Amino acid sequence: MYDTAILSGARSREVCKQTTEAICFDIQEGENRLNALGTHLLLDLKDCQAECLNDVEHIRTMMVTAAKMAKATIIDNRFHQFSPFGVSGVIIIAESHMSIHTWPEYRYAAVDLFTCGQSIQSDVAAHYLIDQLQARQPSLVEIKRGMLAWEGGPLPHKPNSCDQEEEGNLHGRSEELQMVL
């Protein structure tokens, strides 16, 4: 359905197909397995609904909803409506950021979903955005960022699971975020 790829450094890699929509690389270097600090999803959304792409409030609501669906911890957001058309915006999340830039005149949107840790479901956000913008020709590229040799599995950047709090989308991290906010 989607044009999907995962890119990494020039290390040797064994490619394995997990599903029809995703490819993974098992990257090895000697005895140490390389692990990523983050995942960067790049979406090229072509042939979208033009009216949606030029509505700053619709784009803001859609991006905030996507971040919540991914279980990201929203810190702030900033969106701008260009004249005569187009929207740019960013959701700052504790786990990194999510951004969008639209060109309604070309029915195109570029979306970046950069997340760190193991608990964020950026693929859920990506599929939601593709559906909401009614992209008829979506493509998705996944880049592993911060590839480091680390023994013992995933890098301990963020916890693998967080307890969700009832309000504020803080996912059990209110004490940590008080220092940030």
pLDDT higher at 166 or 85: 85
88 is catalytic: no
The structure's pTM equals 0.69
Which of 8, 101, 139, 157 is catalytic? The answer is 101
24 is catalytic: no
- Residue 167 in 3-state DSSP? coil
- Whether the CB-CB separation of 96 and 137 falls below 8 Å is answered with no
Side chain identity, residue 11: R
The string of DSSP codes covering 103-158 is EGGGTEEEEEEEEESSS--HHHHHHHHHHHTT-SEEEEEEEEEEEEE-TTSS-TTS
43: left (phi over 0), alpha (psi -120 to 50) or beta: beta
CA distance 46 to 117: 29
pLDDT tens per residue, range 38-76? 899 999 999 999 999 999 999 999 999 999 999 999 999
Return the CA Rg of the chain. Answer: 17
Domains of the chain by range and CATH?
38-147+155-180 (3.60.90.10)
First to last CA, the chain: 40
Identify the weakest region by mean pLDDT among 1-5, 58-62, 74-78, 149-153.
1-5
96 is catalytic: yes
CA distance 21 to 18: 8
Which of 48, 52, 96, 171 is catalytic? The answer is 96
